[in-house]
């Protein structure tokens, strides 16, 4: 089974995340970034599926749309065990919205498919920066294949994929046949760490870099100017104010209740 995994390079959530003052896009240049943690589950799921299929003919291709440093997200995925990488990189892509991102991903996936057919596209449940959870659905639409999102347990038999989806009120199990776009949750597996061997092996794995021209996508269809919606203003959230410390002098419980009631929590 050949699988394409879409991975996003995002600003490190433990660091200082900022918006760019000029165009209110996420500042991706001056900040430390990494492979979106939620996309590690997608990579792990793909590796598990390929490893489980006997003969192990299958390959995992990781695909990212992003700036120069997004190559780090590909490298990390290759270190975990993916076989090859594709990086869609072009200055004109800056500021792209989800619609444009999904267009680029779809065209890149078609190009991957022209070389060797894919069976599954696996995405994370959401990016950890934009977190709209819409790209997988848009992607399926553009590729004209079925989509099953938020899979928490995946099993593959032949070309049938069985997916458990945990909702708020019920759990359902959906079956779909390949080709298919799937997104997986953080309950689906436990992503592996790269190993030293994986780090060394990754250095020799092929990574292709494709521009808009390579994909045949006109520059007018992507980037900030083409976005359907536009962010007009952004402001950093004010720093959190110091909390209230209640020292228990026999009346602790009463004062807690008073505080919670005052905040309309109870």
Ligand X SMILES: Cc1cc2nc3c(=O)[nH]c(=O)nc-3n(C[C@H](O)[C@H](O)[C@H](O)COP(=O)(O)OP(=O)(O)OC[C@H]3O[C@@H](n4cnc5c(N)ncnc54)[C@H](O)[C@@H]3O)c2cc1C
Binding string, residues 23-62; x marks residues near ligand X by CB under 6 A:
-xxx---------x-xx--x--------------------
Cα separation of 157 and 150, whole Å? 19
Determine the 3-state secondary structure of 220 from DSSP. Answer: helix
Q: Is the dihedral of CA 160, 181, 6, 169 positive or negative?
A: negative
Q: Which helix (H) or strand (E) holds 49?
A: helix 37-52
135 binds ligand X (CB under 6 A): yes
- Give 30 or 167: the residue with its C-beta nearer to other proteins: 30
98 binds ligand X (CB under 6 A): yes
How many Cα atoms are found within 13 Å in the side-chain-facing hemisphere of 220?
0
152 binds ligand X (CB under 6 A): no
Residue 254 interface partner, choices other proteins, ligand X, none, CB cut-off 5-8 Å depending on type? none
4 binds ligand X (CB under 6 A): no
- Give 39 or 119: the residue with its C-beta nearer to ligand X: 39
Beta strand ranges found along 81-218 (DSSP E): 84-88, 120-124, 146-151, 153-157, 160-166, 171-177, 180-184, 207-210
> Can you tell me which of 94, 194, 219, 246 binds other proteins, judged by CB under 8 A?
194
Q: Is 43 exposed, middle or buried (0-12, 13-18, 19+ CB in 10 A)?
A: buried
Which residues, in sequence order, are CB contacts of 18 under 8 Å at separation 6+?
26, 27, 31, 236
- Give 72 or 214: the residue with its C-beta nearer to other proteins: 72
196 binds other proteins (CB under 8 A): yes
How many Cα atoms are found within 13 Å in the side-chain-facing hemisphere of 191?
22
- Give 235 or 266: the residue with its C-beta nearer to ligand X: 235
> Can you tell me which of 67, 113, 130, 198 binds ligand X, judged by CB under 6 A?
130
Contact 208, 86 (CB under 8 A): yes
Cα separation of 63 and 81, whole Å? 14
77 binds ligand X (CB under 6 A): no
75 binds other proteins (CB under 8 A): yes
Binding string, residues 177-216; x marks residues near ligand X by CB under 6 A:
----------------------------------------
Residue 203 interface partner, choices other proteins, ligand X, none, CB cut-off 5-8 Å depending on type? other proteins
Cα separation of 112 and 124, whole Å? 19
Chain positions contacting other proteins, by CB under 8 A: 75, 79, 193-197, 199-200, 203
Chain positions contacting ligand X, by CB under 6 A: 6-8, 19, 24-26, 36, 38-39, 42, 63-66, 96-98, 101, 105, 123-124, 126-127, 129-136, 227-231
């Amino acid at each position: 089974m050949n699988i394409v995994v879409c991975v996003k390079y995002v600003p490190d959530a433990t660091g200082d995340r900022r918006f760019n003052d000029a165009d209110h896009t996420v500042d991706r240049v001056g900040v430390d970034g990494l492979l979106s943690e939620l996309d590690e589950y997608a990579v792990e799921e793909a590796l598990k599926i390929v490893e489980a299929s006997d003969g192990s003919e299958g390959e995992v291709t990781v695909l990212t749309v992003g700036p120069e440093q997004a190559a780090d997200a590909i490298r990390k995925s290759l270190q975990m065990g993916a076989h090859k990488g594709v990086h869609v990189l072009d200055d004109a892509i800056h500021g792209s919205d989800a619609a444009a991102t999904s267009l680029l991903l779809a065209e890149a996936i078609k190009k991957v498919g022209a070389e060797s057919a894919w069976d599954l596209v696996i995405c994370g449940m959401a990016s950890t920066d934009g977190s709209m959870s819409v790209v997988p659905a848009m992607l399926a639409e553009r590729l004209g294949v079925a989509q099953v999102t938020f899979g928490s347990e995946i099993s593959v038999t032949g070309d049938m994929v069985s997916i458990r989806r945990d909702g708020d009120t019920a759990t359902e199990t959906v079956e779909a046949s390949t080709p298919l776009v799937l997104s997986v949750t953080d309950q689906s597996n436990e992503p592996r760490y790269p190993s030293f061997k994986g780090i060394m092996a990754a250095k020799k794995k092929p990574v292709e870099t494709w521009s808009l021209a390579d994909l045949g996508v006109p520059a007018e269809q992507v980037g900030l100017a083409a976005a359907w919606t536009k962010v007009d203003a952004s402001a950093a959230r004010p720093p959190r104010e110091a909390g209230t410390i209640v020292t228990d002098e026999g009346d602790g419980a009463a004062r807690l209740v008073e505080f919670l009631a005052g905040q309309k929590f109870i």
